[in-house]
Amino acid sequence: MMVFLKTIFTWWHHQTFGTWLTTWRRGELVGVDEQGNCYYIDKKAASINGKTRRWVIYNGDIETSRVPAEWHGWLHYTVDETPDVANMTKRDWMQPHQMNMTGTKDAHKPAGPADAASYAEGYNAWKPE
């Protein structure tokens, strides 16, 4: 019951009921990425500014940084072919996609003092003469 209520009233856990209904009625699945996100186009060719509507349904929490670069280009009309059709090859120097870790325990922490107070040690501010 709780899952059903979350589907109707919240968007941050997964798609809302309205998005599910629109995807069921009008969406045509064009691909799935390695994280399980599903990408759709409007099968009735409804357009926005002359372009067929495209959208993503996230597998899990909705976090835009979970969209890999190749699918990001397709979603934003930078490229017309999906990565599957374009036959994009992964180079050995390419790293696997990683979502934005800001605000988590895995966030990037540069080397240096741990807090602002330690910056003040040994710092001599300029004083006008």
Domain limits, the chain:
27-88
CA distance 54 to 41: 4
Kind plus residue range of the DSSP H or E element containing 4: helix 2-9
State the angle between helix axes of 17-26 and 2-9 in degrees (0 to 180), rounded to the nearest 10.
80
Biggest distance spanned by C-alpha atoms of the chain: 74
The predicted pLDDT at position 56 comes to: 92
The predicted pLDDT at position 40 comes to: 94
Per-residue pLDDT of the chain (129 residues; tens, 9 = 90+): 776 676 666 655 667 777 878 888 989 999 998 889 999 999 887 667 778 889 999 887 778 888 888 899 999 998 888 888 877 777 888 887 777 888 888 888 776 665 555 555 666 778 888
Tokens read off for 97: 């996609």
